[in-house]
Amino acid sequence: MASMLSLVDVLPKHERVDIGTCSTCAGAGGSGDNGKKECKACGGSGKLEIDVFGISGEDIGRILGRYPNAFTQMVASANTPTALEPGLMGAIVAASQREGEDPDTSLLGNEKIEKRGRGLGVGAQMKILKAMGRCTFPDGIGPFLEDLVLTSSSAKEAMEVIVRVASKEQATTSPKTPKPSEPPVTQPSGS
């Protein structure tokens, strides 16, 4: 019998993305082919590669808190990173990054990483956005949005039912109204 896995056993979905040549190894105007084994940036390969992770629901919420029109900007940008507000681009890049041994916590909010994300070349930003999209929405954005609409509709219907039931209960438990023909109840006086 196969052992059961839990979320503790599974790493978040991610892709390794080549974002250019190593300027440390390539030198000014070099090709990056003369990689140095001791290079901390590329490990001697001459290529700069980063791991890009999918963005969590929590981070999407944090991004929307800072940039309420983030989805509108992304749709309007038509896959052109330069059409996005630079701060939003930096936030998205940072949200797709993880620090060392903690694959569960993004670097969203890390000023240094967000600044680097804003400063990347457009080609590198595009590669990161595409990989982030594949990792965040493995079935594509369309099925995600369809499910979101269905879930939102179901939640709305459930809330409407709860409000109706609560209103009926409140109506049946309201205090009894005296009939006009009955004299009002008065408290006896102490004199």
Look at residue 161 and tell me whether its pLDDT is greater than 80. yes
pLDDT band at 113 (very low <50, low <70, confident <90, very high): very high
Question: Which of 17-21, 76-80, 106-110 has the least mean pLDDT?
Answer: 76-80
Distance CA 60, CA 130 (A): 16
Task: Tell how strand 98-99 and strand 47-53 pair up.
Answer: unpaired
Please give the share of the chain, as a percent, with pLDDT higher than 70: 75
Look at residue 188 and tell me whether its pLDDT is greater than 90. no
- DSSP, collapsed to helix, strand or coil, labels residue 49 as strand
User: Residue written as tokens 């900007």?
Assistant: 73
Q: How many CB atoms within 10 Å of residue 111? A: 10
Among positive and negative, which fits the CA dihedral 97, 100, 105, 108? negative
Question: Does 70 or 143 have the greater pLDDT score?
Answer: 70
First to last CA, the chain: 88
Give the mean pLDDT of 75-85.
79
Look at residue 29 and tell me whether its pLDDT is greater than 50. no
Percent of the chain as helix, strand, coil, to the nearest 5: 50, 10, 40
Buried b / exposed e along 134-144 (16+ C-beta atoms within 10 A): ebbeeeeeeee
Task: Specify the pLDDT at position 34.
Answer: 52
